[in-house]
Amino acid sequence: MRHHDLLVLGAGTGNALIDDRFSHLDVALVAEGPFGGTCLNVGCIPSKMLAVTAEVADTVREAERHNVRAKPDGVSWAGVQERVFGRLDAVAREGEEGRRASDFVTVYRGRARFTGERELLVETADGTEQVGADRIVVVAGGRPAVPPVVAESGLPYETSDTVMRLDEVPERMVVLGGGYIAAELAHVFHAAGTAVTVVEQQDRLLSEQDESIAAAFTDIVRDSFDLRLGRELTRVEGSPGQLRLTLDDGSVLEADTLLVAAGRKPNSDRLDLDRAGITCDDKGLIEVDAQLRTSAAGVWALGDIAAGPPLKHVANREGEVVAHNLLHPDEPRTMSYDVVPAAVFARPEIAQVGLTEQEAREQGRDYVVGSCRYEDVAYGWALEDGQGFCKVLADRGSGRLLGAHVLGPQAATLIQPLVLAMTFGLSARDVAARPLWIHPALAEVVENALLDVAPDNRRRPPSM
C-alpha cells in the first residue's frame, strides 16, 4: 500500500485546495469525475453561461418594449454547446494535466471507498490500488436525487448532470421539481424554444425562498411554463422520446424529455465511511465541527458531502479554512455560516441572504419590513421593469438587518452590499444614510428599501 502525507478525495474544490504551500508534502489526489467537479462541468458555470444565453434570447424577443424592432431567429444550440463546453472541457483537461505534471501530487483516477482508518481502495481502469495517508480531506461532492418512480421505470430521463449536453433542444420537456435547479434549467430551455411543463409538489415554486419572492416568481413564470403545482408524479410510461407521465390527480403529460430536478444527495453512500469511523447525519451528510474535522482523527470534510450549505462559494471558503488548518494545526480557523448569500439565475433573477419573513415569524423575531420596487427608481424606468423589487427585514430595536431578498435584473449583484451590512452588523439606517448611492443606478432600489425601515430617513423620488 502506498502511503502519503495528505490525500484529497475529490477534484472539484478539493483540487483548488492544494497549492504550492503543500509542496513540501507527498500529496495524493483521488478523482472519479472530471477535474473542476460539479461547478465547472455540470453545475454553476455551464448553467450560468446558458442562462446568460437565454437572457439574451429573451431580451431580443422583448425588444419592442424599448422601441427596438428586432426579431429572434432562434438559438443555435450546437453553437452554444461548442462555445460553452468547448471552453469548459478544455479547462477540465488542463486542470488534470497540470496536476499530473506536479512534482508533489500523485493523481489516482477512479472510484474510491474506505477500507479502514485513513485507508482507501481506488478502483482504476487498470485494476485496484490501496492507498493511505496521515491526513485525508473528503470533498467527494454529491449527485442528483432521482425518485424511485422515475428510476424504476426503465425509461430515459435527464438530470442537471446530463441535460445541458443534449445534442438537440427538446420540443416538449417536463421538469420534475420546483427548486433553483429546476427554475434555472426551465428558463434555459424555454428560451431555446422548448415547451416546458413544471411539476412541483409544493403550491409555489422556490418555496424555500422568502414568501413574497416565491409568490411573485410563481406568478411571473406562469406565462412561460405550464405549472402543475401541488402535484406528484406517480407513473412514467411510454417509450424513449414519447413519454407519458401520470400525476396524482390522474392527469397525463406527454413529453419527449423528462428532466429530474428534485434535489441532490451527497455521495457519502458510495464511500463506506463507517469503515473509517466517519459519521453522517440522517441525510447522509458528513458531520463536521467548526474546524471542519470529522469524527475520525485526521480526516476533514467539506463541500456538498458535508453538513453545510451546498453552495460553491461556501465550499471555497471551507477549502480555505481546511487548507489553513492542515498547514497551521496549532492556530486553527473555524467556519462560520452566519451570513450566507445565494442566488437563482432564472428569469427573473433572485438573490437572498439571511432570514426569510416566514422564518422571522417562526423564530418570534420583532422585525420590520422595508421594500422598494424597481419601477420606483429611475433605472427601473430605464429597464421598463414592473416586476422586480427589493425586500429587507430588520430588527425593530437595533435596526440591524436580519435578511434581504431581491427579485429582478442584477439581483445577485444588488444583494452584495446587504451581505456586507449583515456581516459587519450594520443598521439599515447607517447603510442607507452614510454612503453615497449613485443616481440613477439600480442600487437605489436597495437604498430605498433600507430607508423604508428607517422612517426618519426620507426615500428619494426616482426623479431626484
> Peptide bond preceding 440: is omega within 30 degrees of 0, i.e. cis?
yes
CA dist., res. 402 & res. 354, Å (int): 6
DSSP state letter for 442 = T
Task: Indicate the pairing of strand 367-373 with strand 401-407.
Answer: unpaired
- Grouping H, G, I as helix, E, B as strand and the rest as coil, residue 242 is strand
Residue with cell 463507517: 274
The alpha carbons of the chain give a radius of gyration, in whole angstroms, of 24
Known catalytic residue at 324: no
Task: Indicate the pairing of strand 242-247 with strand 111-116.
Answer: unpaired
| Contact yes or no for 225/218 (Cβ under 8 A) | no
What is the CA angle 181-334-6, rounded to 5? 85
Residue with cell 483540487: 15
CA dist., res. 46 & res. 261, Å (int): 16
| Contact yes or no for 388/377 (Cβ under 8 A) | no
Burial class (CB in 10 A: 0-12, 13-18, 19+), 225: buried
* Nearest Cα residue to 403 out of 367, 350, 434: 367
| Residue 246 CB partners (closer than 8 Å, separation 6+) | 233, 234, 235, 236, 237, 252, 253
Residue 361, H or E segment: helix 357-362
Task: Indicate the pairing of strand 142-144 with strand 27-31.
Answer: unpaired
- Grouping H, G, I as helix, E, B as strand and the rest as coil, residue 406 is strand
DSSP state letter for 224 = T
| Contact yes or no for 206/183 (Cβ under 8 A) | yes
Specify the amino acid at residue 267: N
List residues with catalytic annotation.
439
